[in-house]
A and B are shown apart, each in its own frame.
Chain A
């Protein structure tokens, strides 16, 4: 009887450790596999050439990833600029000023927004955002744009990130002890001063990690962006021009993988860049959280 118990104990213990180990190993395994698949590319071109060159002509064996990396960053930064302030203020209002009823209404709305498949965001982008950018915003600034642009991609991405960021921000603000708020108010601080100096300050790590989550999500989003961003290989600062983010590159050209030599390695390298950038984003935000907690 005792033996049986010991065996079961051992078994269940090792099970848990293996499960954890597998999960911890996953990013490493994925990264390693991508590196292996991408490595033929490194013999063809140097790493700095791959990252820095903007010459993309796979049939001639030229793989310059700069336009894709820059497009990805541009779209992500734009979406962050749109989404972050909106989420921050909405979350403050919901947790500090809004009535209970509004919060009850908002929670399902956020969940629904988070659950909508990205192809629907993409369709909505084509039907609403692309004409809005092309026919309303661009003429307003006296620019000619077909609407399929980095700006359209940024707006669609911003909408897609909102539920994730908002949800996390609400959770964060809700964890601020009520006593802290009461203390601040009893010292004569106004509502706004309390929010600014107590609530936001106390939730700093949470705010940063929610922003990090939003950026990582925006950087990796594929389908919806691909449908509205215009997919043109070029380096541009004008948000009304078309861009070509990394995930779109992989998704669009997955089919050419077999007919052009080295193309599969190039796509794997694109995937590797994505993985590394998302890792870096996470590390930076981890560092910020660590700093603010100290």
Chain B
């Protein structure tokens, strides 16, 4: 008899606990995906929790591709996504909401021997294509007037990610066309290119600049893009010194797009969970005021209105 009582107790406990966990599930938001959006998602989750302390967040970064795959598989509530949404993905029923804008910038090490020349001269889109895609430029003296023979060491991202997709799109290719040693994740790529004096790579703005100081992180430098192709960086092309300057340039369109791009939340169909919808709505309204301080460019109001309409 005692045993049966115990069994009943166990079953009751099980049922009760499953109820609790279901409730908890309703209040837990799981995000995964783009490294570019990760810092902002963390910032938002912290601010959101101040107003809604019952909501819990699980946020992980693993590249935009993972965000898309997880969202479509339904293993997360929202995927963080950082490149244009492909037609194949739209065909699979992706629902998305834009959040903010950032950019991918070409980077080199602060120890690069030709840093000063590169900063004055910049690289044109064609030269960057030669380095990253064609392989027609393999040494620094192919672009700079130097006598030494120093090979350029190209680094790229190995994980399926928005930064590489957007960068390749700017240079007229796909992620798989990008040459170079593949590094997993944006922080590791910044670390690798910073250490190699001959290295060249591309990073999301948030991993190049330090949000607190507004300057570039130690060890890493940006190659200015020579947009008009006159082999000099004109004053209007020179906006890479501080975080605010590059953000303004992205906002005004002085920095080309791509590599500037919109960042999204994606899901398989419109999210059904109320907590998810509330959170997206908050990010597009009250949450927008944190976009700038977190180091991103806000999107235009008419776009925000469009995405808010999608939530209704």
> Hey, which bits of chain A sit against chain B, CB under 8 A?
56-59, 126, 131, 134, 144, 146, 148, 226-227, 230-232, 242, 244, 248, 252-261
Contact = CB atoms under 8 A, between A and B. Distances in A.
Given A226-B184, A242-B181, A242-B182, A252 B176 contact: no
28 contacts: A56-B176, A57-B176, A59-B174, A59-B176, A126-B188, A146-B196, A148-B192, A226-B184, A230-B182, A230-B183, A231-B158, A231-B181, A231-B183, A231-B184, A232-B181, A232-B182, A252-B159, A253-B160, A254-B65, A254-B160, A255-B64, A255-B66, A255-B68, A255-B160, A257-B69, A258-B88, A258-B89, A259-B65
A258 B181 contact: no
Contacts of B153: 146
A204 B161 CA distance: 48
Nearest to A227: B184
B174 to A, nearest CB: 5
B86 interface: yes
Given A146-B153, A231-B184, A261 B88 contact: yes
A148 B181 contact: yes
Contacts of A226: 158, 184
B184 A258 contact: no
A248 B196 CA distance: 23
A272 B181 CA distance: 26
A248 B184 CA distance: 10
B199 interface: yes
Given A57-B176, A231-B182, A255 B67 contact: yes
Contacts of A260: 88
Nearest to B185: A227
B180 interface: yes
Contacts of B63: 255
A255 B164 CA distance: 13
Nearest to B70: A255
A259 B176 contact: no
A258 B182 contact: no
B296 interface: no
Nearest to A135: B195
Nearest to A56: B176
Given A58-B176, A259-B89, 11 more contacts: A57-B176, A57-B177, A148-B192, A242-B182, A252-B158, A254-B160, A255-B62, A255-B65, A255-B66, A256-B175, A258-B89
